[in-house]
Structure 1
Amino acid sequence: MRAVNEVQVRGRFSTLTRRIVAFNVLALALLAVGILYVNQFQAGLIDQRIQNLRAQGEIIAGALAEAATVELETQIIVPDGPVPQIDLTVAARQAPIDPNRAAAILRRLVLPTDARARLYNTNGVIVVDSQFIDAGRDVIAYELPPPAQEERVTLVDWVNVLITNLLREGDVPRYEELPGSQGLNYKEVRGALRAEPTAMVRENDRGQLIVSVAVPVQRFKAVMGALLLSTEGGDIDALVRAERLAVLRVFVVLLVVTVLLAILLAGTIAAPVRRLADAAERVRRQRHTRVEIPDFRDRRDEIGELSGALREMTRELYARIDATERFAADVAHELKNPLTSLRSAIETLSIARDDTARARLTEIINHDVVRLDRLITDISDASRIDAEMSRAEAVPVDLAEVVATFVRNYTQSRKGTRTADIEVHFVAPDTTEPLMADVIELRFGQVLANLVDNAVSFSQPGDRVEIGMVRRGEEIEITIDDTGPGIPPDNIETIFKRFYTDRPDPSAFGNNSGLGLSISRQIMQAHGGSLHAENRVDEAGDITGARFVIRLPAA
């Protein structure tokens, strides 16, 4: 049997999932923004340092070309004589750079800065290195560095190195200090000697960035050497480290906020779930008291749905327990009546004085035994319906064909009985399309038999019980009409209670258990349908019989 349930369409992600993901993604997004900002900041620092070094190098290179080269020999021009042709470009290229003059220029222009300057001739041999320039007669004051201390690696340093390694794009060339005669091994020096200013970014053995820019030293467009300016290792890294430290502080704040929000979020989830679990445990343990499940349905999320489902489940559980207790009490009451009659007949049988009395008592005993057998059979059937309906599977069938087959078999089985002259007639639906519904055919046939038996029991010889069928929207309606006295208005719902029976013929007492209508409604509800009763009335408003109406979802 497939019950008809309301299906709620949900999105791919639940409300709680979106909430949890939002909190975590927000913190990660802010951290990512900070890291990307620092990465862009580092790239901007490198570009700015390259531009500064190039501008500084061009100024120094111009000064070196003008003031640090050896003067050309003086050419004497004789009046009225021929004017010698002088190639200034070749002459400038052949003019050597004076190391002393170059050192003086670099002393004034480079030593006050934090850059290192190296001057190479056209052969790639170093001429002057600012690292080894003596202040000479000039007095240059430098602040002494603090006494050397043992370098400590902090957590910030570890984080800085880790982030640097993760975000570094590609492999940064390793910086090597080359001998003075191997200047051509520097790519930027080779480029400058070709009159092409060149910049390079390298990394020393401590992982610090070194930016170097080489510019040509030119005079009359002739390259006389190359000036290589480079930064000290660690200056760019120190600025980046400071920025990363600021981002790390922000991250720590965000981490604390995220943890607090996570704890708050966990509290909004864990605390209600814990209360629901405790209530469910109390329901399991406290069998003699009713436990109220906490109501969180106003949350409008999965916790609220869980609370509503548990409350509904508990309500159904308690209703089932109450129904079971009432059923047990009704069974005890219904069994007690025939047992009392049977016991009285047996006790009287032993003192009966004639055969007529003994025959009458024996008839009573047989009647009570049959009554008990019918009652126990119906009680057993009613108690098995729920379990059987949950295990059995409904299949689509043509209800018109099932009812027609039932009527034929029912009529055939009543031949020769006292109700054979009560006609059971099926009015076929006025449609050529099959009226399909998902039912368990055996149980559906049991409902038809109960309702038709009930209609026949209230009919007189020559009467007619009529079964009709019609489709109404998404439902199929089946009616069973009789021509009996009808149902008292106050008993329209009472007749579906267990063990209820109300028949005008006293001779019919004990022939019905009072469970047929109750079982029939239970079966129809398990099919997702309904069963109710009403009276048939004529134009004058008089009752002309009873009608039982079955409604089933169409397949």
Structure 2
Amino acid sequence: MVLTPFGKVFDAVRRFVDFTIFSSLTRRIVVLNMAGLLVLVVGILYLNQWRAGLIDARVQSLRVQGEIIAAAIAASATVDSDIISVNPDRLLDTQSGGVSPFSYFDPTLEFPINPERVAPLLRNLITPTRTRARIYDGQGLLILDSDNIYARGEVLRQTIDKSTGTSFFLADWWNALISWAPGDNYPTYQEYQADEGTRYPEVASALQGAPADFVRVDAQNRLVVSVAVPVQRLRAVVGSILLSTAPGDIDSIVAQERWSILRIAMIAAGVQIVLSLLLAGTIAGPMRRLSAAAERVQTAGDARAEIPDLSDRPDEIGHLSGALRRMTDALYNRIEAIERFAADVAHELKNPLTSLRSAVETLPLAKREADKARLNEIIQHDIRRLDRLITDISSASRLDAELARETAEPVDVETLAQAMVAIQKDIAAGRDVSVVMGKRSGRGTTLVSGHESRLAQVFANLIDNAVSFSPPGGTVTVAISTEGDNIVATVSDEGPGIRDAGRIFQRFYTDRPEGESFGNHSGLGLSISKQIVDAHKGTIKAANRTDRSGALFTIVLPRARK
């Protein structure tokens, strides 16, 4: 598949992340847990809902404060005239910065809002709130500015900004990061001249009798909230009061809240990391131990490496440990069985080969025809024995693989036994032995889940073995019964019985009747039968009959579930 340039970049990034972050289970757990916390913190900072709520609360506070101040100013204002007379020359001098803000008013003139009477009142109401207040007359001319009201005898000092200077580097990084977060687009705040009050939209609205508010940012992108409230006397608007927050007042509160979030996030991150490491220790640590043990199994050689026993844990690690231990034990048992099988095969093949070699070496030295015929008979017998051994060994070695490949199907054991009895009956008749089917006992079906051909091989081996041990005129009986969830099949004969029941199912073990020629049986029939029954999760046992002489083989198979 040909990747596009974007696909190649994405694949490179994915491989980089896999080899750096996700190459370790511990790092993966820590990173994924921290990702959830990071998304939560970023989401809180991005939404900024509490910032908008803070602005709304500040607007309401300023409006209430403005209404209170406006009412106080209206109560102290003169109402002799609705016209404010201003000395233009003195006003120009004031704008040029040459005189006090109160000196441009001619004391002989009468104003609806008297600055000298309102100034002390405004100072007392504004000072505790750290809010800037400006009073405009009906034409938008600035009358009072709280920043320029000073008490008698007050010494003016240069204000030192204590916020500047060295700060915690993490706070600087945090503020720089927050500045990248998207926010609302507010207009830039601009300071107008004393006679340009109506250029403030909120002031113009207040002079029309409607309170208004406005949110701006200064040159340093600090929030400035302004609220203008009309000053009314006898329903006549005589002026407007403009209240505004100090630049950065709301931003400082927002910054403190964000810094609090950062501190909480750092504490939560520390807890998350500790918990992630503890979690990784209970997962990654045992996984590393299991992995190291699996690698030792590969390089152990003849030694039997052990998988750590974590089966006391009730979680998946415990289940994995138990499964690996069982798998390892099964592999070692299979290896040991193969080694024993190879040794037995070598031993069994060595005997006919030795006999064959001796006969072949002796044949040229034989002078009499009878001796040559006897040696030829031995050679033919050993060749047939080798062929039979190789055939049975090949069948035994392929048995496990064939049982694993074949699909289990329902098999009626009673029907199968009847068919095998019918087949073996004709063969046994040549040796004057009868093969009969016994009476069925028990209730229920005789179905098992297995391989019909292999179970048929078991019955054929057991019946053939019983016929070979039965005397002339003897009877071999095959019976089927059910006991609970199991199906029991028995094969009995009337022969001499079993001399060593403990070794009867061993490979290449034979205990043939007297008079039968040696080497006619490989000793693998009963071993193969046990192997097939074990593969069907059943059991097979051999014992002597208690009612008379003879052997009794019992097969127990689990009944198929419906």
Common topology (TM > 0.5): yes
Question: 1:391-470 to 2 correspondence within 5 Å?
Answer: 391-412=405-426, 414=427, 418-419=430-431, 421-425=433-437, 435-470=446-481
Deviation at 1:501, TM superposition (A): 1.6
Give yes or no for contact 2:122–2:146 (8 Å, CA) kept in 1.
Answer: no
2:505 pairs with 1:496: yes
Cα deviations across residues 518-551 of structure 1 (Å, max 9, x unaligned)? 111112222333333344433xxx5554132141
Question: 1:217-366 to 2 correspondence within 5 Å?
Answer: 217-220=231-234, 223-352=237-366, 354-366=368-380
Cα deviations across residues 207-235 of structure 1 (Å, max 9, x unaligned)? 43333334343334555444331211211
Cα separation, 2, equivalents of 1:473 and 1:143:
104
Cα separation, 2, equivalents of 1:210 and 1:468:
102
Relative distance call for 1:215 and 1:534 in structure 2 (3 A) is farther
Relative distance call for 1:368 and 1:133 in structure 2 (3 A) is same
Relative distance call for 1:199 and 1:509 in structure 2 (3 A) is farther
Which amino acid in structure 2 is aligned with residue 109 of structure 1?
A: L
Which amino acid in structure 2 is aligned with residue 213 of structure 1?
A: V
What is residue 122 of structure 2 aligned with on the other side?
106
Deviation at 1:372, TM superposition (A): 1.7
Task: Give the SS at the match of 2:471.
Answer: coil
Relative distance call for 1:148 and 1:478 in structure 2 (3 A) is closer
Deviation at 1:166, TM superposition (A): 5.3
Cα deviations across residues 128-158 of structure 1 (Å, max 9, x unaligned)? 4626645486636455225997999965345
Q: 2:154 aligns with which of 135, 139, 142?
A: 139
Cα separation, 2, equivalents of 1:109 and 1:138:
20
Percent same amino acid among aligned pairs? 47
Deviation at 1:237, TM superposition (A): 1.6
Cα separation, 1, equivalents of 2:327 and 2:345:
26
What is residue 97 of structure 2 aligned with on the other side?
none
Give yes or no for contact 1:425–1:464 (8 Å, CA) kept in 2.
Answer: no
Give yes or no for contact 1:199–1:211 (8 Å, CA) kept in 2.
Answer: yes
Give yes or no for contact 1:395–1:440 (8 Å, CA) kept in 2.
Answer: yes
Which amino acid in structure 1 is aligned with residue 497 of structure 2?
A: G
Cα separation, 2, equivalents of 1:187 and 1:251:
40
Give yes or no for contact 2:479–2:491 (8 Å, CA) kept in 1.
Answer: yes
Deviation at 1:65, TM superposition (A): 0.6
Cα separation, 2, equivalents of 1:397 and 1:148:
90
Give yes or no for contact 2:421–2:435 (8 Å, CA) kept in 1.
Answer: no
What is residue 510 of structure 1 aligned with on the other side?
519
Cα separation, 1, equivalents of 2:497 and 2:336:
31
Task: Give the SS at the match of 1:419.
Answer: coil
Cα separation, 2, equivalents of 1:200 and 1:320:
86
Task: Give the SS at the match of 1:496.
Answer: coil
Cα deviations across residues 298-318 of structure 1 (Å, max 9, x unaligned)? 344333333333332222222
Q: 1:70 aligns with which of 68, 79, 87?
A: 79
Which amino acid in structure 2 is aligned with residue 230 of structure 1?
A: S
Cα separation, 2, equivalents of 1:396 and 1:188:
95
Question: 1:14-53 to 2 correspondence within 5 Å?
Answer: 24=33, 28=37, 32=41, 46=55, 49-50=58-59, 52-53=61-62
Give yes or no for contact 1:118–1:126 (8 Å, CA) kept in 2.
Answer: no
2:560 pairs with 1:551: no
2:495 pairs with 1:476: no
Q: CA RMSD in A?
A: 4.2
Q: 1:174 aligns with which of 187, 190, 194?
A: 187
Give yes or no for contact 2:408–2:451 (8 Å, CA) kept in 1.
Answer: yes
Q: Unaligned stretches of 5+ in structure 1?
A: 1-15, 74-94
What is residue 190 of structure 1 aligned with on the other side?
205
Give yes or no for contact 1:106–1:130 (8 Å, CA) kept in 2.
Answer: no
Give yes or no for contact 2:538–2:555 (8 Å, CA) kept in 1.
Answer: no
Structure scoring higher RCO (CA < 8 A, sep ≥ 6) equals 1
What is residue 133 of structure 2 aligned with on the other side?
117
Deviation at 1:425, TM superposition (A): 2.5
Q: 2:537 aligns with which of 506, 524, 528?
A: 528
Task: Give the SS at the match of 1:316.
Answer: helix
Q: Unaligned stretches of 5+ in structure 2?
A: 1-24, 83-110
Cα separation, 1, equivalents of 2:282 and 2:163:
55
Cα separation, 2, equivalents of 1:385 and 1:369:
24
Give yes or no for contact 2:212–2:229 (8 Å, CA) kept in 1.
Answer: yes
Give yes or no for contact 2:136–2:144 (8 Å, CA) kept in 1.
Answer: no
Cα separation, 1, equivalents of 2:555 and 2:219:
93
The total of aligned residue pairs comes to 505
